[in-house]
Structure 1
Amino acid sequence: MEIKEFKTFEEQVTKLVEHGCEDIISKEYAINILKRINYYRLTAYFLPFRNEETQKYDSSKISLEKVYSIYQFDSELRLLLMAYIEDIELYFRTQVAYHHSEQYGALAYKDSENFNKFHKHDEFMENLEKELHYRRKDPVYRHHQSKYNGEFPLWVLVEFFSFGMTSKFYADSPNTVQSLIAKNLNIKTAQVRTYLEVAVVLRNYCAHYGRLYYRGFTKIPGQLPPFMTENVKIKNRLMAQLYALKQLYVDGNKWNNNFIPRLKDLFTKYQSSIHLHHLGFTSDWEVVLKK
């Protein structure tokens, strides 16, 4: 297997030009960007402008400055989304802890009988032990080890949950618990499960600096509006992902009057560089995403 050879920053600039990015302010400008952003990472933002046959960039549509601007937009977009995904994650931690404990007790999570038939209890407890071991220096962990002999009520334990664990706990909870939580959101339990899975994946992209711009997501929300499901360039792009977040976001006022205006402002800020259809956004996106 042939491995590509190492290239200096100067050689990377030459490679960009050879691939079609001829509009570069200066070599120094390009090298300054490449010193901060890995070449492989940066070139992913050229994908919308690449000819599938020649694999070269359309020099009439791009400049390094424009691509770097798209990269900056993507970074700001991730930070914006993380703030609202955090609200969803903390809300669901609270909800699963409250309703499961109310129905079955503070330590009921230790018994597989208090979950549904899809629950893999040994795997759950093993993952739980790993999280607790990882947090063993946390003051909350130490407090419960010394004062409560290592027993953690669920409402304490969820503070050690990853978003993935929270999502799985909801999906594995008895229908009575799922229904109580779904009722507050005015959607069905199955929708909550699938939307949570989408939110978890999106959160991981944001947390690990994954590209959102021109990305085709493999985890697609269920129960999308017909115009989304009928168009693959919409249903597997970011707009559909945000539709799932909307359904999970309990504070409609904050979503409509804070998130949507901030998203709109971000689009306006970068309007000379970005193309909303690369994110799967339609002209009426504000209406679609409004709660």
Structure 2
Amino acid sequence: MAKRIYHKAPLSFQDQLELLKTRGLTVADEEEAICYLQEISYYRLSAYFLPCQSIKNQFNQGITFKDIINTYSFNRELRLLVFDCIERVEVAIRTQFIYKMAIHYNDSHWQDDQRHFITPFYNRIGKLIDPYNDFQAIISRAKTVRNPEVFIKHYMREYSSPSNPPAWMNFELLTMGDLSHLFRGLRNNSDKKRIADFFDVHHKVFASWLHAITYVRNICAHHARLWNRDLAIEPDRLKKPVGPWIGPRFQNNKRVFYFICVLKYLLLRANPSNSLRQKLQALFTKYPNVPIKYLGIPSNPDGTLMDWINEPLWQ
């Protein structure tokens, strides 16, 4: 297919609103709509137009600008809820990683022993995969920056050896992506298993989940869209759950609802008293007209949504 030349001219906020109206969008308060366009931008909002258009560039009968804003607001609150859950899970993963390795090897500085990590290699796109030296580089930068973290500064002032701080300090320097990279970079599957066992997940599935959590965390951090999104990095399906899980109809791991179920499963191990179910229910109730089916919640034969709340995981 031959490529085209892009020729769309920029439009003023007023012209953007007029374009939406010509496409059948009902606008009750034009001044308010202009304010939203100034604040959010037409292009960002356009991702929420598509499910409201059975015909391209033509809004379905009765769709209002307020419907679009409500869906956008729903996504924002969903993103904040998911981000909060990821934070709690991430802290628990960090804790188990440090604890299991340090206790098993009886070594506060196990991260400085290269034998725990895989041999460096180049992946299929030519990138060097070297978890040990990547971690050492993070530690080195933390020690040499102009204003080191207080705990790094304290260690360097008080101790001459070992040259690096202990693992429980260094792990505070790592992002979720770093944790995922380091977990995959452990040489021994037995080490991975010890960490993943706390969460009742096979270590290979756990590695996949860490990768997916990193990806979704970045979506949340960059204020992007979770609603109506196919995940570019899919969390593996959990084939042998320990304890309550979801039925086969809910296991579309390309969509966000499956990822939320992954978070719930991990939270049941990391924070059993979590209130994710209640918060999710409250969010769905707050926005009754937002089509939550686009999260990946399956439908019954009559078109109604299946009752996710009665799945064993959510009881």
TM-score bucket of the superposed structures, by smaller chain: 0.7 to 0.9
Superposition TM-score, scaled by structure 1 size: 0.87
Matching residue of 2:244: none
Alignment of 1:165-204 (within 5 A): 165-173=178-186, 174-204=188-218
Q: Is it true that 1:262 corresponds to 2:266 in the alignment? A: no
Deviations along 1:83-104, one digit per CA (max 9) or x if unpaired, are 1111110001111111122233
Match of 2:89 in 1: 88
1:141 and 2:144 are equivalent in the alignment:
no
Q: How far apart, CA to CA, are the structure 2 residues paired with 1:9 and 1:155?
A: 51
CA contact (8 A) 1:195 1:245 kept: no
Shift of 1:112: 2.1
Kept in 1, the 8 Å contact 2:45–2:72? The answer is yes
Could you say which residue in structure 1 is the equivalent of 2:241?
Answer: none
Alpha carbons of 1:193 and 1:19: their partners in 2 closer, same or farther (altered >3 Å)? same
Distance 2:134 2:171 in 1: 17
Instruction: Tell me the residue number matched to 1:48.
Output: 51
Cα distance, 1:284 vs structure 2: 2.5
Cα separation, partners in 2 of 1:61 and 1:135, compared to 1, 3 Å: farther
CA contact (8 A) 1:216 1:236 kept: yes
Q: Helix, strand or coil: the match of 2:201?
A: coil
- 2:9 — aligned with what? 5
Q: Which residue of 1 aligns with 2:164?
A: 151
Equivalent residues of 1:78, 1:206 under 8 A apart: yes
Whether the 8 Å CA contact 1:135–1:160 is kept in 2: the answer is: no
Count of aligned positions: 281
Query: Given the alignment of the two structures, is residue 111 of structure 1 paired with residue 133 of structure 2, yes or no?
Result: no
Q: Is the 8 A contact 1:198 1:244 kept in 2?
A: no
Amino acid at match of 1:213: W
Structure 1 residue 285, shift from structure 2 partner? 1.6
Equivalent position SS for 1:2:
coil
The change in CA–CA distance for 1:245 and 1:38 in structure 2 (over 3 A counts) is same
TM-score by length of 2: 0.81
1:243-286 Cα deviation digits (max 9, x unpaired): 2222322246324xx110110010001012x1121111132322
Does residue 237 of the first structure (1) align with residue 255 of the second (2)? yes
Rate the CA distance shift 1:3–1:133 in 2: closer, same or farther, 3 A: farther
- Correspondence 1:290 to 2:279: no
Confirm or deny: 8 A CA contact 1:195 1:248 kept in the other structure.
Answer: no
| Contact 2:89 2:270 (8 Å CA) reproduced | no
**Residue in 2 aligned with 1:38?**
41
Judged with a 3 Å threshold, the aligned counterparts in structure 2 of structure 1 residues 159 and 43 are, in CA distance, closer, same or farther, namely same
Question: Which structure dedicates a bigger proportion of its chain to helix?
Answer: 1
Identify unmatched segments of 5+ residues in structure 1.
Answer: none
Spell out, residue by residue over 1:21-49, the C-alpha distance to the aligned partner (whole angstroms, 9 max, x if none). 2x001321111111211211111111212
One-letter amino acid matched to 1:142:
K
Structure-2 change in CA distance of 1:55 and 1:235 (3 Å): same
Structure 2 unaligned residues grouped into runs of 5+:
121-128, 239-246, 299-305
Following TM superposition, by how much is the alpha carbon of 1:226 offset from its aligned partner in structure 2, in angstroms?
A: 3.4
Q: Over aligned residues, Cα RMSD in angstroms?
A: 2.4
Give the letter for the 1:285 counterpart. Answer: W
Q: 1:107 to 1:279 in 2, by over 3 A?
A: same
Per-residue deviation at 1:196? 1.4
